[in-house]
Every structure is written in structure tokens, then in C-alpha cells.
A and B are shown apart, each in its own frame.
Chain A
């Protein structure tokens, strides 16, 4: 069982004044806990529900609805590469395939050394940089195989 750290508890407590009820802070609470734990599994849901005075079923519904919450461990770096329209028009499919081969990992999976998770995602709202990927909150655009080599090298 994962423990909720003191820092996380503090952050969560500060959220409560933002909303008229505790439940509304659920999305942010999940972000905070996922930052700590890496992912949210089913057995964590009860603890979260208790924290927010809500039914575990309702926590489950939310964790499974939103794509940014992970159900199993992910790599130290999560690479979200865009598969939507502008990126595809600008050669995004080649970029996705290059990443798959380079990292030896299929979409949705994590490399064997636990370093990289590769995900194909919908429009990241950065289409002027197409083809584009986001790694742990940072955007990398105008991707080419050479540029990817450089970015990945710097992450190692």
C-alpha cells in the first residue's frame, strides 16, 4: 500500500478552500498523488475516497475516464507524441515509428530499463511546432530523427 506523503497531504489540504465541496478537488488530488506515486492503482482508490469523503466507485470512474492518470508504473520520462491532424500532415507517423524503433518500445509501453514510456496522444495544442511531442511537461517541436536523437540523449 502506498502512503500519502506529508507534503502531498499539505498540498491537498490547501485545495479544499478553493471549492464548496471536497469532491471537486479530486482531479488535482489525483495529479498530486500521481506525481508522488507514479500511478494510481485500484487499491489506492479507497484511501483517496476517504480523504475526500466520497464513494470509492466515484473515484474509480474518474481515474479511468481521464487519459492522464496511469494505472500502472510508467517510465521516468513519459513521451507523448502527437498523432493528430497537423502533426500527421507534417510527418508525424514517421516520427512515431522512429521513436518506437529507437526506444525499442511499442506505443503505450515502457522501455525495459524503465526509463521511457511512449504514448501517442491527440492534439497537444502546439500545432505550429508540428510534428511535436511533450516530455514531462516540456514541448519539443519540428521533430526530425536527428532532433529526437539529441533530445533523448540529453535525457539520459
Chain B
């Protein structure tokens, strides 16, 4: 399938132009990022502080329940709006972008997509308004790219389950209130059909955050280990079919990839804007460096890659909103946007020269933050595997 084919239903009306409401959503996110996030960026990065105050405000405005229908307290928007929001926020701070993305499209979306009506009523209103912060734990020390290698165990006990194991690299592992945990419920079961998803809540006996990671980038986004020690979880907290947790996780990652692609676009555009501004101000040899063709070519290349990644990601988002299959296009968008983020962040530093190497300018921060885009929610290598697998499936 080509992008045009995926887009077919929308090509006449969508035109990749945004509706008045979508532009208003984008403008709101931009205003929010400029006023509420920008003043804190350097401090929270240096201190590795998760900015609760930003999330309280984001919750009030609806940014923490973007995809959740209004009946559960959410904003009831689609993936195109969601991409615009994550991109705008990430242009100012990829840390906040990553956290908003993980909260929305991993934890909250898993409960929305696979929770029963009772479960949705129970957790979504608090998550969608930011009264509670969401986390999603799939990755383990020995099960990263190979997520099916999950070892965390859930053993039936009465009308509940006893969970044991530990998860690594959970976004909001230490600050989260609600955590979706993937655990093996049937070790003898068929591969990919032996894992189930559970909702764990802060304060449950035997459930605690472990080590908080000291990271290269996105340092204000909390990433921590999550530990389950004989943690009793009621069966009412199990999401969807027993044994289908891994398949659910793959579905959630399809949407998650679109949000990480949006994070990549935001990071890339942020780096581009910062570098463009700097190039106009910095003078060498008696003129602004923006007048040197070498610098212009860097910027032009960055801008073109940003545009390509943005269009592909919006196409993936529109396909998602249209209910069409997105596994391949979402992986393509994430792969491209992630690589573009790294490319643009690197060029951004180069354009800044020595000032790109120090923390007085944001170029340095984009350079550190961008790298998560080629790793989180499936590395670039894994995206290529997914894309190739889909290619062969489509051309059987």
C-alpha cells in the first residue's frame, strides 16, 4: 500500500489541510507550550524534575485525555489533533511531549480500547483530566525489543492474581498513579497468547517504583523501574480477554508509534527553528552566518525532512482516524520522524558551533532529547522489521 492508497478515502477532502478547529487546537497547544512549559524547560531538565504543575494545567485544558470521548471526561479528538498537540509541545520540550504521549496513547488508550464499560468509568475520568497520571509497563530488563519474552508472572489466587516481577524503563514509573502492567498468565500457553494486561494503582500492597533512571535526554520525563512483589490484583483489574495482553499491546503500540512520530517531528522542528533564529543573529566574517550557503543548505535540508516526516505522520494519523490499518504507515512515520529528529538535532548543534555544545542554548538539549525517538516504542531497527513484514504480507 502506498501512502496515497492508505489515504484514498480522504484524498479529496483532507488535502492535508487542517480544519478551523484543528488550527485552533494547534494554536492552543502552541500558546500553552510557550507560556506554561517554555519558562521551566532548562530548570526541569537540569534537575530531572517531573513538572507536576505543567501536567495539572495540561489536564484542565484537556491535553491528558485527547483521544478519550467526552462521556469519560476526555476531549474526544482524533489522531490528527493529537499529532498537532504532541508536536507543538515537543517543539518546546520533548520531555513534556514524551510524557504527554505516554500518558495518552499508552496507559489511557489501553484502558479505553480494551477496558470494559465499568473499567472505563472507573479510571478514564481521572486520567483524562490529569487528576491521575498514567504509566504503561511492557519492557523488562530481558524483554525489550523482544517483548514477547516477558517474565513478569501473574498467578491466579481466588478471584484475583498475584503478580511478581519487575519492569524497566516505565515512563511515569515513579510519579504515575495508574499503571497498565503486562504479565504472563499462562506460561504453557501459545506464544503471543499467554500474556494479560492488568491495571495496578499506586499504593497497592507489593507494588512500588524501583530505581529512577538518570537519562541522557528527556530528563524531565520520569522513567523508572516498577516492581511487583506478591502484589494481589483483583480480576476486575484485568483488561480484555485473558491471554490477549500481548496482542493488545501491539495494537496500542500502533497508535503509540504515531505519537512518538509526533514527538520526533516536534523535536526536529524545534531544532530547526532554534537554528534558524541563531543563524540570523550570529555574525562571522562580518555577516550573519545565515548568509553562508553552507548554513542555508543545512537549514533547507532540515526543513525538507521535517516536512516529509510531518506529512507522513499526519497521513498515518488520518488513516487511524479513518479506521484503516495503520501498522505499516505508523511504523514508517515513526522510523522517518525519529531519524529526522536525530538528523535535525545534530545539524542544529553544528549550526550553533561551540554554542551548540554548551547548555546556554537549546540546541544542545534537542541533541540529547532526540535520541529517544529512535529507541522508545520500538527501535528504528524494529520499525524496519515491522515495515518489511507488512510489505511481504501485502504482496503475498
Is B a genuine binding partner of A?
Answer: no
